[in-house]
Structure 1
């Protein structure tokens, strides 16, 4: 029985299939059957007409992944092969924290990505064990472990920390950009109406529990910065 929030992703390989709706109808029916019962909601739905051979030229898939991050939802697809046949791409979803469910085999993600993730996890365990052994040996030699012992962050380390925070905020703004655009297209033009729309959608704000006009203003400023050409490009 389905539980939680989902983002639906449908794909057909040809324009003919897209126009006829035959391929999409079958996928929609599979998704409807899967969601028959349970406590669930669909945050967004995306349809792609693109060959499965390419994972880079699939804008609707990228929007669906962004929506999963924004809404904290799982990606729901009708058939496992509608998502991707590339194991590296699927593992990338797992590393990005994107969970997905295929209605024709709800455990497909565990049978594929899960196996690769277990291999990586075993390697992390081995590294952790070696690190602990090295620390234990150092402690046995009398080396003092733990605490900063008066250490201070270098200017370079502080700069890297700031850059990491900025990159995370930029990534979040990029994920929110298409949703904000949709809200504006539907008539939400003021900061207050945009905040209300984001709150209705159940999207978590950067801080606190609800969106405020000020939080929306800061996010819009970051989105504008990301979409603006660089100074070098403007000079050219």
Structure 2
């Protein structure tokens, strides 16, 4: 049975999955099944909505910081889903934070180190194959697509989708951090004091930065 303090980290690849709960609910269910029974505390949940193609993992960093600050163990629902993500694995290995992967409970820092090397090798192989395929297509005289060749409708559609994704990500961050900010405001009384507390505690902003909270940023978050 699980014992101790835990902080969970979940990740889905798209804002649509984040809004619908697709993928997230299965991960939450796996975590709850793991924690079933025992003297445990699930202190917080950090949700990442980010494509595996990108290395930016602000919520992973926030979860690791939270674990260090509160003496908790990081709980991951599906390590195998992230096993090709070299940035995630290396961050986990170097964090010095204890972790448990529900689907791979035998995993340890050595395991994730090996997985990280394999993931990096696979990424490099995919990149090499993609470049070779593009070069071959160009040699055959095939015209490759360029952003400037997109229609106006396509450009506007792409911009709108990117804006929706950013908004969804910001809304998700605000929903998760708002209870903490509200609690601090009730205790401290002013937005400036709340910003100072968040900076002192190393709480990350939506952009994944520490020490960057301001009274205006706190106000904007509470009003989302």
Deviations 1:74-116 (CA, angstroms, capped at 9, x unpaired): 1111100455634465244333311221111111235613669
Give the equivalent residue in structure 2 for 1:15.
Answer: 15
Give the equivalent residue in structure 2 for 1:166.
Answer: none
Deviations 1:173-204 (CA, angstroms, capped at 9, x unpaired): xxxxx99746424x12169xx9xxxxxxxxxx
- Contact 2:46/2:63 (8 A) holds in 1: yes
**Cα distance between partner residues in 1 of 2:58 and 2:211:** 18
* TM superposition shift of 1:25: 1.0
- Contact 2:55/2:87 (8 A) holds in 1: no
**Cα distance between partner residues in 1 of 2:42 and 2:79:** 19
- Contact 2:80/2:104 (8 A) holds in 1: no
Classify the secondary structure of the residue corresponding to 1:112: helix
Give TM-score, length-normalised by structure 1. Answer: 0.48
CA RMSD, Structure 1 to Structure 2 (Å)? 3.7
**Cα distance between partner residues in 1 of 2:112 and 2:84:** 12
Give the equivalent residue in structure 2 for 1:44.
Answer: 44
1:80 aligns with 2:82: no
- Contact 2:93/2:109 (8 A) holds in 1: no
- Contact 2:52/2:85 (8 A) holds in 1: no
Cα distance change, pair 52–109 in 1 and its aligned pair in 2 (3 A) = farther
Cα distance change, pair 112–25 in 1 and its aligned pair in 2 (3 A) = same
**Cα distance between partner residues in 2 of 1:89 and 1:33:** 24
Give the equivalent residue in structure 1 for 2:65.
Answer: 66
Give the equivalent residue in structure 2 for 1:55.
Answer: 55
Instruction: Could you tell me which runs of 5 or more consecutive residues in structure 1 were left unpaired when the two chains were aligned.
Output: 117-177, 195-215, 230-236
- Contact 2:82/2:88 (8 A) holds in 1: no
Classify the secondary structure of the residue corresponding to 2:23: helix
Give the equivalent residue in structure 2 for 1:107.
Answer: 106
Cα distance change, pair 12–91 in 1 and its aligned pair in 2 (3 A) = closer
- Contact 1:87/1:113 (8 A) holds in 2: no
Cα distance change, pair 101–55 in 1 and its aligned pair in 2 (3 A) = farther
Cα distance change, pair 228–41 in 1 and its aligned pair in 2 (3 A) = closer
- Contact 1:5/1:40 (8 A) holds in 2: yes
Instruction: Could you tell me which runs of 5 or more consecutive residues in structure 2 were left unpaired when the two chains were aligned.
Output: 116-177, 202-209, 215-224
Cα distance change, pair 70–26 in 1 and its aligned pair in 2 (3 A) = same
- Contact 1:75/1:101 (8 A) holds in 2: yes
**Cα distance between partner residues in 2 of 1:4 and 1:41:** 6
* TM superposition shift of 1:53: 2.9
Cα distance change, pair 88–54 in 1 and its aligned pair in 2 (3 A) = closer
